[in-house]
Amino acid sequence: MYSRELLKGILKPIILKLLSEHDKMYGYEIVQHVKEKTEGKVLIKEGSLYPTLHSLTKEGYLTTESVLVGNRTRKYYSLTKEGTGLVVPALNELIDFQATLGLLFGKEKPAVS
């Protein structure tokens, strides 16, 4: 059975994948990136993102680095060694999940004739 986490949330895998490709990103950047990549179809809300980033950090998968740009603070997040180790399993599980969705919702039998 798929983990409850996977069935409920794709936010952590998204963050892990992005950080595996980008070395370091800050919250607002993640939101914009996902928005563009998904053609505006996935809009991560601050209320979802920041708690998730904090929890991943607390769990030891991310480290932070605050940078002052002008007078505005930017908090960069990057993968720890542990976080890096999490990327591939998380993606594999998601990919497998997609395939399973295919089994369930594949086109062998059309929903409506």
Partner DNA sequence: TGCAATACATCATATTATGATGTATTATTG
Partner DNA sequence: CAATAATACATCATAATATGATGTATTGCA
In the complex, the residues that contact a copy of itself under the rule CB under 8 A are 1-2, 7-10, 13-14, 17, 20-21, 34, 37-39, 41-43, 84, 87-88, 91, 94-96, 98, 100-105, 109, 111-112
Nearest distance from C-beta of residue 113 to DNA, angstroms: 26
Q: Which is nearer to a copy of itself, 21 or 46 (CB)?
A: 21
Contact 18, 90 (CB under 8 A): no
- The torsion of the CA quartet 31, 75, 7, 42, rounded to 10 degrees, works out to 0
Q: Which amino acid is at 32?
A: Q
For residue 51, the partner it binds in a copy of itself, DNA, none, with Cβ less than 5 to 8 A by kind, is DNA
Which positions ≥6 away from 42 have C-beta within 8 Å? 14, 34, 35
State yes or no: residue 5 binds DNA (CB under 7 A).
Answer: yes
